[in-house]
Chains A and B, each alone.
Chain A
Amino acid sequence: MGKVARQVVEQAGVNVDVLIDKLVRAAGAEFTTFYYYTILRVNSIGFEGEGLKEIIEDARIEDRNHFEALTPRIYELGGALPRDIRQFADIAGCPDAYLPSNPTDMKALLNVLVEAERCAIRTYTEICNMTFGKDHRTYDMALAILHEEVEHEAWFSEYLSEGPSGHFRRGAPGASPYVRRFMTADIA
Protein backbone atom coordinates (compact mmCIF):
# COMPACT_ATOMS: atom_id res chain seq x y z
CA MET A 1 0.00 0.00 0.00
CA GLY A 2 1.14 3.54 -0.65
CA LYS A 3 0.53 5.34 2.66
CA VAL A 4 0.55 8.86 1.29
CA ALA A 5 -1.05 7.69 -1.96
CA ARG A 6 -4.11 6.66 0.08
CA GLN A 7 -3.98 9.59 2.48
CA VAL A 8 -4.16 12.23 -0.25
CA VAL A 9 -7.23 10.57 -1.73
CA GLU A 10 -8.92 10.38 1.68
CA GLN A 11 -8.12 14.02 2.39
CA ALA A 12 -9.63 15.00 -0.94
CA GLY A 13 -12.95 13.65 0.34
CA VAL A 14 -13.14 10.23 -1.33
CA ASN A 15 -14.36 7.28 0.75
CA VAL A 16 -11.42 5.06 -0.14
CA ASP A 17 -13.03 1.85 1.12
CA VAL A 18 -16.03 2.43 -1.16
CA LEU A 19 -13.70 3.26 -4.04
CA ILE A 20 -11.66 0.09 -3.47
CA ASP A 21 -14.88 -1.94 -3.44
CA LYS A 22 -15.88 -0.46 -6.79
CA LEU A 23 -12.42 -1.09 -8.25
CA VAL A 24 -12.41 -4.73 -7.09
CA ARG A 25 -15.89 -5.25 -8.55
CA ALA A 26 -14.77 -3.65 -11.81
CA ALA A 27 -11.68 -5.89 -11.90
CA GLY A 28 -13.94 -8.90 -11.30
CA ALA A 29 -16.17 -7.88 -14.18
CA GLU A 30 -13.16 -7.55 -16.49
CA PHE A 31 -11.80 -10.93 -15.44
CA THR A 32 -15.11 -12.76 -15.89
CA THR A 33 -15.77 -10.95 -19.16
CA PHE A 34 -12.39 -12.15 -20.46
CA TYR A 35 -13.55 -15.69 -19.70
CA TYR A 36 -17.01 -15.31 -21.24
CA TYR A 37 -15.73 -13.47 -24.32
CA THR A 38 -13.43 -16.44 -24.95
CA ILE A 39 -16.55 -18.62 -25.26
CA LEU A 40 -18.36 -16.03 -27.38
CA ARG A 41 -15.37 -15.69 -29.71
CA VAL A 42 -15.05 -19.46 -30.10
CA ASN A 43 -18.71 -19.67 -31.11
CA SER A 44 -18.56 -16.75 -33.52
CA ILE A 45 -18.45 -18.79 -36.72
CA GLY A 46 -20.13 -19.02 -40.09
CA PHE A 47 -20.85 -16.28 -42.65
CA GLU A 48 -22.10 -13.91 -39.96
CA GLY A 49 -19.75 -14.84 -37.17
CA GLU A 50 -16.32 -14.95 -38.78
CA GLY A 51 -16.20 -11.20 -39.35
CA LEU A 52 -17.18 -10.60 -35.75
CA LYS A 53 -14.53 -12.88 -34.30
CA GLU A 54 -11.68 -10.42 -34.66
CA ILE A 55 -13.32 -7.59 -32.76
CA ILE A 56 -14.48 -9.94 -29.99
CA GLU A 57 -10.82 -10.89 -29.67
CA ASP A 58 -9.77 -7.23 -29.46
CA ALA A 59 -12.36 -6.53 -26.77
CA ARG A 60 -11.50 -9.77 -24.95
CA ILE A 61 -7.79 -8.97 -24.70
CA GLU A 62 -8.41 -5.34 -23.82
CA ASP A 63 -10.76 -6.37 -21.01
CA ARG A 64 -7.98 -8.55 -19.63
CA ASN A 65 -5.69 -5.52 -19.95
CA HIS A 66 -8.18 -3.51 -17.90
CA PHE A 67 -7.94 -6.13 -15.16
CA GLU A 68 -4.15 -5.86 -15.29
CA ALA A 69 -4.30 -2.06 -15.05
CA LEU A 70 -6.83 -2.01 -12.19
CA THR A 71 -5.08 -4.49 -9.93
CA PRO A 72 -2.02 -2.42 -8.91
CA ARG A 73 -4.23 0.55 -8.08
CA ILE A 74 -6.37 -1.60 -5.78
CA TYR A 75 -3.29 -2.61 -3.81
CA GLU A 76 -1.81 0.91 -3.84
CA LEU A 77 -4.94 2.15 -2.11
CA GLY A 78 -4.74 -0.57 0.53
CA GLY A 79 -7.21 -3.01 -1.02
CA ALA A 80 -6.78 -6.58 -2.23
CA LEU A 81 -8.30 -9.06 -4.62
CA PRO A 82 -10.31 -11.83 -2.91
CA ARG A 83 -8.23 -14.89 -2.10
CA ASP A 84 -10.94 -17.13 -3.56
CA ILE A 85 -11.65 -16.75 -7.27
CA ARG A 86 -15.25 -17.93 -6.72
CA GLN A 87 -15.82 -14.98 -4.43
CA PHE A 88 -14.18 -12.73 -7.02
CA ALA A 89 -16.63 -13.93 -9.68
CA ASP A 90 -19.58 -13.48 -7.32
CA ILE A 91 -18.79 -9.83 -6.62
CA ALA A 92 -18.04 -8.95 -10.25
CA GLY A 93 -19.68 -5.62 -10.98
CA CYS A 94 -21.49 -6.67 -14.15
CA PRO A 95 -23.68 -9.69 -14.97
CA ASP A 96 -22.04 -12.64 -16.67
CA ALA A 97 -21.95 -12.51 -20.48
CA TYR A 98 -23.44 -15.94 -21.16
CA LEU A 99 -23.43 -17.64 -24.52
CA PRO A 100 -27.03 -17.40 -25.85
CA SER A 101 -29.28 -20.47 -25.79
CA ASN A 102 -28.89 -20.70 -29.55
CA PRO A 103 -25.17 -20.14 -30.14
CA THR A 104 -25.67 -19.80 -33.90
CA ASP A 105 -27.86 -16.74 -33.38
CA MET A 106 -25.28 -14.02 -34.04
CA LYS A 107 -27.68 -11.18 -33.31
CA ALA A 108 -28.34 -12.60 -29.83
CA LEU A 109 -24.60 -13.02 -29.35
CA LEU A 110 -24.03 -9.40 -30.38
CA ASN A 111 -26.66 -8.24 -27.91
CA VAL A 112 -24.75 -10.00 -25.11
CA LEU A 113 -21.56 -8.23 -26.18
CA VAL A 114 -23.04 -4.76 -26.56
CA GLU A 115 -24.89 -4.93 -23.24
CA ALA A 116 -21.73 -6.08 -21.47
CA GLU A 117 -19.89 -3.06 -22.84
CA ARG A 118 -22.72 -0.76 -21.78
CA CYS A 119 -22.47 -2.10 -18.25
CA ALA A 120 -18.73 -1.38 -18.32
CA ILE A 121 -19.35 2.18 -19.52
CA ARG A 122 -21.72 2.79 -16.60
CA THR A 123 -19.17 1.28 -14.21
CA TYR A 124 -16.27 3.51 -15.26
CA THR A 125 -18.44 6.60 -15.61
CA GLU A 126 -19.40 6.10 -11.96
CA ILE A 127 -15.73 5.72 -10.93
CA CYS A 128 -14.73 8.78 -12.96
CA ASN A 129 -17.52 10.82 -11.36
CA MET A 130 -16.41 9.68 -7.91
CA THR A 131 -12.71 10.49 -8.42
CA PHE A 132 -12.76 13.55 -10.72
CA GLY A 133 -10.68 16.34 -9.23
CA LYS A 134 -9.90 14.23 -6.13
CA ASP A 135 -8.04 11.03 -6.97
CA HIS A 136 -6.10 11.96 -10.10
CA ARG A 137 -4.42 8.60 -10.63
CA THR A 138 -7.55 6.47 -10.36
CA TYR A 139 -9.46 8.99 -12.47
CA ASP A 140 -6.81 8.95 -15.20
CA MET A 141 -6.84 5.15 -15.33
CA ALA A 142 -10.65 4.82 -15.17
CA LEU A 143 -10.96 7.39 -17.96
CA ALA A 144 -8.49 5.44 -20.11
CA ILE A 145 -10.53 2.26 -19.59
CA LEU A 146 -13.73 4.18 -20.30
CA HIS A 147 -12.31 5.32 -23.65
CA GLU A 148 -11.78 1.70 -24.66
CA GLU A 149 -15.16 0.49 -23.37
CA VAL A 150 -16.89 3.21 -25.37
CA GLU A 151 -15.07 2.02 -28.48
CA HIS A 152 -16.02 -1.59 -27.78
CA GLU A 153 -19.67 -0.64 -27.50
CA ALA A 154 -19.43 1.23 -30.79
CA TRP A 155 -17.89 -1.76 -32.59
CA PHE A 156 -20.69 -4.10 -31.54
CA SER A 157 -23.36 -1.46 -31.94
CA GLU A 158 -22.26 -0.93 -35.55
CA TYR A 159 -22.69 -4.65 -36.22
CA LEU A 160 -26.26 -4.25 -35.02
CA SER A 161 -26.63 -1.32 -37.49
CA GLU A 162 -27.43 1.08 -34.67
CA GLY A 163 -25.32 3.81 -36.30
CA PRO A 164 -21.75 4.61 -37.37
CA SER A 165 -18.99 5.56 -34.94
CA GLY A 166 -16.12 6.50 -37.22
CA HIS A 167 -13.83 3.98 -35.52
CA PHE A 168 -11.63 1.53 -37.36
CA ARG A 169 -9.84 -1.64 -36.36
CA ARG A 170 -6.94 -1.88 -33.96
CA GLY A 171 -3.41 -1.99 -35.41
CA ALA A 172 -2.71 -5.17 -33.40
CA PRO A 173 -5.08 -7.50 -31.51
CA GLY A 174 -6.06 -6.00 -28.17
CA ALA A 175 -3.65 -3.07 -28.58
CA SER A 176 -5.28 -1.01 -25.76
CA PRO A 177 -4.27 2.40 -27.13
CA TYR A 178 -5.47 4.19 -23.99
CA VAL A 179 -4.76 1.68 -21.21
CA ARG A 180 -1.36 0.33 -22.26
CA ARG A 181 0.50 3.10 -20.41
CA PHE A 182 -0.92 1.72 -17.15
CA MET A 183 0.38 -1.78 -17.89
CA THR A 184 4.00 -1.20 -17.10
CA ALA A 185 4.66 -4.85 -16.23
CA ASP A 186 3.08 -6.27 -19.39
CA ILE A 187 3.98 -4.06 -22.32
CA ALA A 188 7.47 -2.94 -23.16
Chain B
Amino acid sequence: MWRRVGRVEEIPPGQTRFYWAGSKPIVVANRDGRFFALGGICPHRDNPLDGAQLWGHLIDCPWHHFLYDIRSGENYFPRNVYPEDYPELQKQLRPLPTYQVEVRESEIWVDLE
Protein backbone atom coordinates (compact mmCIF):
# COMPACT_ATOMS: atom_id res chain seq x y z
CA MET B 1 0.00 0.00 0.00
CA TRP B 2 1.59 3.25 -1.16
CA ARG B 3 1.35 6.31 1.12
CA ARG B 4 2.57 9.85 0.72
CA VAL B 5 4.81 10.73 3.65
CA GLY B 6 6.33 14.11 2.78
CA ARG B 7 7.99 16.32 0.20
CA VAL B 8 11.53 16.15 -1.15
CA GLU B 9 12.42 19.65 0.03
CA GLU B 10 11.85 18.53 3.63
CA ILE B 11 14.92 16.28 3.47
CA PRO B 12 18.07 17.92 2.05
CA PRO B 13 20.83 15.61 0.77
CA GLY B 14 22.73 13.94 3.61
CA GLN B 15 19.82 14.21 6.04
CA THR B 16 16.98 12.08 7.38
CA ARG B 17 13.44 12.78 8.55
CA PHE B 18 11.11 10.84 10.77
CA TYR B 19 7.45 10.46 9.74
CA TRP B 20 4.33 8.71 10.90
CA ALA B 21 2.72 6.95 7.95
CA GLY B 22 -0.62 6.36 9.62
CA SER B 23 0.34 4.33 12.69
CA LYS B 24 3.65 3.19 11.19
CA PRO B 25 6.88 5.03 12.08
CA ILE B 26 9.12 5.61 9.06
CA VAL B 27 12.48 7.28 8.59
CA VAL B 28 13.42 8.57 5.14
CA ALA B 29 17.03 9.31 4.19
CA ASN B 30 18.29 11.40 1.30
CA ARG B 31 21.59 10.04 0.04
CA ASP B 32 22.85 12.29 -2.75
CA GLY B 33 19.34 12.87 -4.06
CA ARG B 34 18.24 9.24 -3.78
CA PHE B 35 15.63 8.49 -1.14
CA PHE B 36 15.57 5.42 1.12
CA ALA B 37 12.76 4.52 3.53
CA LEU B 38 13.23 2.33 6.59
CA GLY B 39 11.38 1.41 9.72
CA GLY B 40 11.51 4.33 12.15
CA ILE B 41 12.18 2.35 15.32
CA CYS B 42 15.66 1.11 16.21
CA PRO B 43 15.30 -2.61 17.00
CA HIS B 44 18.05 -2.40 19.62
CA ARG B 45 15.90 -0.77 22.32
CA ASP B 46 12.80 0.25 20.36
CA ASN B 47 13.71 3.94 20.32
CA PRO B 48 12.54 6.24 17.48
CA LEU B 49 15.04 7.22 14.80
CA ASP B 50 13.85 10.82 15.01
CA GLY B 51 16.90 13.05 14.52
CA ALA B 52 19.09 10.25 13.16
CA GLN B 53 22.15 11.43 11.29
CA LEU B 54 23.36 10.03 8.00
CA TRP B 55 27.02 9.14 7.50
CA GLY B 56 27.46 8.04 3.91
CA HIS B 57 25.07 5.12 3.49
CA LEU B 58 24.80 4.50 7.24
CA ILE B 59 21.99 5.84 9.40
CA ASP B 60 23.01 6.54 12.99
CA CYS B 61 20.51 5.91 15.79
CA PRO B 62 20.66 8.97 18.07
CA TRP B 63 20.12 6.91 21.24
CA HIS B 64 23.00 4.41 21.29
CA HIS B 65 24.66 5.09 17.92
CA PHE B 66 23.81 1.78 16.32
CA LEU B 67 24.46 2.10 12.57
CA TYR B 68 22.29 0.60 9.83
CA ASP B 69 22.87 0.37 6.07
CA ILE B 70 20.08 2.37 4.43
CA ARG B 71 20.26 0.14 1.32
CA SER B 72 19.54 -3.12 3.11
CA GLY B 73 18.47 -2.17 6.65
CA GLU B 74 21.18 -4.45 8.03
CA ASN B 75 23.01 -3.47 11.19
CA TYR B 76 26.59 -2.40 10.45
CA PHE B 77 27.76 -1.36 13.92
CA PRO B 78 28.11 -2.95 16.44
CA ARG B 79 27.54 -6.13 14.39
CA ASN B 80 31.09 -5.79 13.08
CA VAL B 81 32.54 -6.01 16.61
CA TYR B 82 30.03 -7.80 18.84
CA PRO B 83 31.30 -11.23 19.95
CA GLU B 84 29.42 -14.14 18.40
CA ASP B 85 29.54 -16.18 21.60
CA TYR B 86 26.96 -13.88 23.27
CA PRO B 87 23.63 -14.93 21.73
CA GLU B 88 21.71 -12.28 23.65
CA LEU B 89 23.80 -9.59 21.97
CA GLN B 90 23.06 -10.99 18.54
CA LYS B 91 19.35 -10.43 19.23
CA GLN B 92 20.03 -6.67 19.39
CA LEU B 93 21.31 -6.67 15.83
CA ARG B 94 18.05 -7.22 13.97
CA PRO B 95 17.74 -5.24 10.72
CA LEU B 96 15.49 -2.28 10.08
CA PRO B 97 12.64 -3.02 7.67
CA THR B 98 13.10 -1.36 4.29
CA TYR B 99 10.40 0.05 2.01
CA GLN B 100 10.24 1.00 -1.63
CA VAL B 101 10.26 4.74 -2.31
CA GLU B 102 9.02 6.74 -5.26
CA VAL B 103 9.16 10.49 -5.85
CA ARG B 104 6.04 11.69 -7.61
CA GLU B 105 5.97 15.39 -8.48
CA SER B 106 8.23 16.26 -5.52
CA GLU B 107 6.21 14.13 -3.12
CA ILE B 108 7.77 11.15 -1.34
CA TRP B 109 5.68 7.99 -1.54
CA VAL B 110 6.49 4.82 0.38
CA ASP B 111 5.18 1.31 -0.21
CA LEU B 112 4.35 0.06 3.29
CA GLU B 113 3.70 -3.55 2.23
Interface residues of chain A, those whose CB is within 8 Å of chain B, are 25, 92-101, 108, 111-112, 115-116, 118-119, 122-123, 126
Q: Is the C-beta of B1 less than 8 angstroms from some C-beta in chain A?
A: no
Contact B82 A95 (CB under 8 A): yes
Please tell me which stretch of B12-20, B60-68, B105-113 contacts chain A, meaning at least 4 of its Cβ atoms lie within 8 angstroms of it.
B60-68
Q: Is the C-beta of B89 less than 8 angstroms from some C-beta in chain A?
A: yes
Q: Specify the main secondary structure of chain B where it touches its partner.
A: loop
- How far does the Cβ of A93 sit from chain B's closest Cβ, in whole Å? 6
- How far does the Cβ of A108 sit from chain B's closest Cβ, in whole Å? 8
User: A90 to B82, alpha carbons, bound, how many Å?
Assistant: 16
The chain B residue with its CB closest to the CB of A114 is: B81
The chain A residue with its CB closest to the CB of B58 is: A122
Contact A101 B84 (CB under 8 A): yes
- How far does the Cβ of B43 sit from chain A's closest Cβ, in whole Å? 13
Contact A112 B64 (CB under 8 A): no
User: A154 to B62, alpha carbons, bound, how many Å?
Assistant: 24
Contact A95 B66 (CB under 8 A): yes
Q: Mark interface residues in B50-72 (1 if CB within 8 Å of A CB, else 0).
A: 00010100001011111000000
User: A120 to B51, alpha carbons, bound, how many Å?
Assistant: 17
- How far does the Cβ of A176 sit from chain B's closest Cβ, in whole Å? 23
User: A140 to B82, alpha carbons, bound, how many Å?
Assistant: 33
Contact B64 A95 (CB under 8 A): yes
What are 6 of the A-B contact pairs (CB < 8 Å)? A94-B64, A95-B65, A100-B81, A100-B83, A101-B83, A101-B84
Contacts of B62 in A (CB 8 A): 126
Most buried by A among B66, B77, B81: B81
Contacts of A93 in B (CB 8 A): 63-65
Interface residue from A92, A100, A111, A122 paired with B55 (Cβ < 8 Å): A122
Known contacts A115-B77, A115-B78, A115-B81; A98 and B89 CB within 8 A of each other: yes
